[in-house]
Amino acid sequence: MSQSVPASAPPATVERTLDDRAVRLFIILAAFFCVNAVLAEFIGVKIFALEDTLGIEPLHWNLFGQTGSLSFTAGTLLWPVVFLMTDVINEFFGRRGVRMISYLAAGLIVYGFVFAFAAIAIAPADWWVKAAQPQGVADYQAAFAAVFGQGMWTIAGSLVAFIIGQLIDVAVFHRIRSVTGEKHVWLRATGSTAVSQLVDSFVVLYIAFVLGPQKWPTSLFLAVSTVNYAYKMLAAIALIPLIYVVRAAIIRYLGQARAHELREQAAAV
């Protein structure tokens, strides 16, 4: 008499790592954070006039006995996005997430400058040096070196200020969060930026232009640092609505339960 063979159970579905929406979200945020940080460093060699860009009369600030117009590095266009990404990653992935991407971004910045200096050092083709003369660039090699060959003091100042600023940002963010809980997203985002960028704005200029070969006087250092800090804070305040938009989009993407789980883990770590 034949016996019936029980039907085998269907194979269990194994979720792959990249199928986890939280993992994909972290990769996207980290990539966007790093590319903005690296780009900000490289385009920062250009100084632009804000008043001329906006088509308004020069404001002629007067601070600490120094006067000037609103001139900033082009990198300031991207740093507010880095602040935003920092706050979002802080919210959902905590201290560990911010530290990881900050060290990664710093490493990528160093990597980029190493190869930029290597590219400057290799011998240019003779025809290439004169290739842009019709556009008014007499020496392409000299122009390339001027744009990509930023001073070592500037690079060092930017990296040190970036790392210190990020570590302060994450500490202040979670300190405010421990007091306010899930409420007042704008307060922990803007408050952490206010403290971290106060340090960042002064450290980068102090290393690059006071300790560096230009030896700025204290009055000029304080004046330029204050103007830069004021710009960054205005940008941070302007981005407050966008923080809520991005946060809401992430919660929709993850789902309420998963988003709440990540925020709880982020606050605990």
Helix axes 218-238, 240-254, angle to 10 degrees: 50
Buried b / exposed e along 127-147 (16+ C-beta atoms within 10 A): eebeeeeeeeeeebeeebbee
Helix (H, G, I), strand (E, B) or coil at 234: helix
What was the pLDDT predicted at 133?
Answer: 92
Highest mean pLDDT among 3-7, 127-131, 154-158: 127-131
Torsion 150-29-164-206 (CA) sign: positive
> What DSSP line would sit under 111-145, residue for residue?
HHHHHHHHHHHSPPPHHHHTTTGGGT-S-HHHHHH
pLDDT of the residue at 139: 93
pLDDT tens per residue across span 229-262: 998 889 888 988 999 999 999 999 999 999 999 9
Give per-residue pLDDT as tens, 72-84: 888 888 888 888 8
